[in-house]
Amino acid sequence: MPPVVAVVRARENSRYRPLELRNTSGHGPDTLTNMFAMDNEKTQAEAVASPGEQPEGVIVSPDTRRANRIPPGQSRTRKWPILDAGGPPRIDIEKWELKLWGLVNEPRRWSWKEFLDLPRVRVFSDFHCVTRWSRLGNVWEGVSTRELVKLCGSVKQDAAFVLAHGYDHGWTTNMPLDEFLAEDALDHFLFALPEQAVVDEDAG
């Protein structure tokens, strides 16, 4: 089996202005402030945003520079479909943690508060779901995977793949290390929600 660089235990959802999200888990504080924020429009405009329109400092994902940004078999959506096979997990925010271990030089873990204090970046990219819809021209804000690995003292020489674990009912996925460390890769993000949004069970 190829070496695994890290197991990342994290999943939360959430561009440009701070949001106030209410904690509906029944554990921890009622309000989660200083969350990652995004634009306030849940439904996009008809015109598709282009890489050249992005403000300075936003990382532009290479996929947005393709002549045809919608892959074969996909259809564009201007909304955010809500799809969750098993329902969102119930998480005690006081016990939430993000953990990086495996073939890294210094394994690390962060609490929710510590994670929110990490430096953030913004990424402009398209989103393609396996259920055959695509949402084009999104701006995501979160912590760069490169930043997390840097905080772990980089990876060991024989590291080649990443295995990620989530709180979502045993969810896992894997990917090549070079994809995990791409410039436009965010380890953790929050997606577009209206200002002062309330996250309920359907939101994931």
SS3 143: strand
Q: pLDDT tens string for the chain (204 positions)? A: 444 444 433 334 333 333 334 444 444 444 444 444 444 456 888 899 999 999 999 999 999 999 999 999 999 999 888 777 777 788 888 999 999 999 999 999 999 999 989 999 999 999 999 899 999 999 898 999 999 999 999 999 999 999 998 888 888 999 999 999 999 998 765 544 333 333 344 444
Cα-based torsion angle of the residue sequence 68, 69, 71, 73 in order, rounded to the nearest 10 degrees: -90
Give the C-alpha separation, 74 to 69, whole Å.
Answer: 10
Q: Give the torsion sign (CA, 153, 146, 97, 172).
A: negative
144: β partners: 186
pLDDT for the residue 190: 54
Q: What are the distances in angstroms from CA 9 to CA 100, 115, 180?
A: 8, 12, 14
Write down the residue that tokens 């990490």 correspond to. 118
Judge contact between 14 and 191, C-beta under 8 A: yes
Please tell me the pTM assigned to this model: 0.72
Q: What are the distances in angstroms from CA 57 to CA 16, 145, 186?
A: 13, 17, 15
Amino acid at 151: L
Strands 161-165 and 4-9: parallel
pLDDT for the residue 35: 41
